[in-house]
Structure 1
Amino acid sequence: MSVAKKDYKRITTKSLIEMKANGEKISMLTAYDYTMAKIVDSSGVDVILVGDSASNVMAGHETTLPITLDQMIYHASSVVRAAERALVVVDLPFGSYQSDPREALRSSIRIMKESGGHAVKLEGGKEIKESIKKILNAGIPVMGHLGLTPQSIYKFGTYTVRAKEEAEAEKLIEDAKMLEKVGCFALVLEKIPSSLAKKVAETISIPVIGIGAGSGVDGQVLVLHDMIGMTHEFSPRFLRRYMNLYEDMTKAIGQYVDDVKSVDFPNANEQY
């Protein structure tokens, strides 16, 4: 059943908590540059995630690990200049927060000051608790991320569904409660059983955003390039492609090449 939406002129962390309380689902998409972020924002998306997935879709790396803090700030600043309504959340990249809470704070301050982002996102539970507390104590909003955590891919060794076993599921629930208790404003759950994700969303008061976590959570996030079909090799079960932009763009560019070769472009009306 659909819920009447409140008209938010600007989405804040408080807005998301209100949306959960009112039963309104939260929409979230990634963006990495000004032009795409402008389209996403004007389309009514609530949260724009400047994801470290830029390492994959923008730079062509196999994992999210290579992207640097400087590169994340560059992408985030481009997105912030485009966003007029959406809350902009920026991933802290691998190596910028895990080992030292003071380094985590320095990284977060750089993102907030140099990009203008509205919040940061970190992967992990109790093992990064002190880093999260340090960031929150400085007044910087934090979004958590549990389940499949791509920055730990070499630890897991696979991108398969997480928390299917009871022990890992119990740890995930405890980590979610901890993230809520220390002050995170929201939580992403990636690629876990839908029944577990629903249980987490019902257990904690902060919004739970799912990706491959079923419909029982408070909102959904997808990588923009996957959702609009710019990428075509990646086809997990949770991905719904709303366009096939790869095919459309390939066809259009091919036609451009043909028109240039045949001197059909530019025609008489396309010259000065």
Structure 2
Amino acid sequence: MAEDDADKLRKKIRKPREKGRVGKAADGFAGVWRYWTRRIFRWVLYGLLAAAAFSILLVVTLRYVNPYMTYYYVSERMRLGEINRDWTPLEEFSPVMARSVVAAEDANFCTHFGFDIEGIKAALADEGRVRGGSTISQQVAKNVFLWQGRTWVRKGIEAWFTLLIELFWPKERIVEVYLNIAEMDEGVFGAAAAGRHYFGVEPDKITAVQAGRLAAVLPSPKKRSASRPTAYIKKRTRQIISGAKTIAADGRADCFESG
């Protein structure tokens, strides 16, 4: 009888100890989990802050330094062996050249902050619309800082760079960069190189018709030709010439012609 009482007493003593050990193990696992979760969160946060700081520095730098090397430049150079480009300041272009690309690609360029909401709505509502909702600022962000593609991740990064471009670059700089990085034939980058390539003219001698044709090959320069225009290109050129005159008259070209 005494032995039975002793066994019961030992069991009562052991059970709390066993529960205590299990509790400590559970607490230990939860503590490790919280520790590593906090560390990973900090690493991710620091990484995002570093990436944001670097992107801001890069955008500010390229306000003053011309972006000679981009992902697309390099990939086309590797594919074709050479590319044709000649960086030209905005003031050395015929004024009608800048008006034409703006009229063709982003007529409300001077009135928005990187995103043409009305243009996006119209593009979604009309699948046959000539131009989509992508603004010149968005195209500059994509072509200068990013890679080609349509993933949501790339579009999100593009939106971030678009905001930075609009924040740190004047409108004149955005147009200047666009005129120099837009591909207007296979391996031919920029309106200056394209003017010489198609028409044998210098940037300041580009006519309204020539500017309209150069703008009309966008955004499919590998499928369209400014020197061998199809019926569609001729029609599109007339539309662009008219649009360029319109934005010059109603003030929508003032933001990049103020200088």
TM-score band w.r.t. shorter chain: under 0.3
Which has the higher Rg, Structure 1 or Structure 2? Answer: 2
- The structure with the largest helix share of the pair is 2
State the structure with bigger RCO (CA 8 A, min sep 6), 1 or 2: 2
- The structure with the largest strand share of the pair is 1
